[in-house]
Amino acid sequence: MPKALWIAHVNVTDADAYGEYAKRATDAVQGHGGRFIARAGAYEQLEGNDRPRNVVALFPSLKAAHDCYYSEAYQEALSFAKGAAERDLVIVECVEDF
pLDDT digits (tens, 9 = 90+) for 19-40: 999 999 999 999 999 999 999 8
The pLDDT value recorded for residue 26 is: 96
In the predicted structure, residue 98 carries a pLDDT above the cut 90:
no
Mean residue pLDDT across the chain: 95
Q: 40: domain range?
A: 4-93
Q: What are phi and psi of 4, to 5 degrees?
A: -140, 155
Structural domains in the chain (count): 1
Q: Is residue 98 part of a domain?
A: no
User: Measured between alpha carbons, how far apart are the two ends of the chain, in Å?
Assistant: 12
Specify the long-range contacts of residues 70-75, CB closer than 8 Å, at least 24 apart. Answer: 71/28, 71/31, 71/32, 73/24, 73/27, 73/28, 73/31, 74/25, 74/28, 74/29
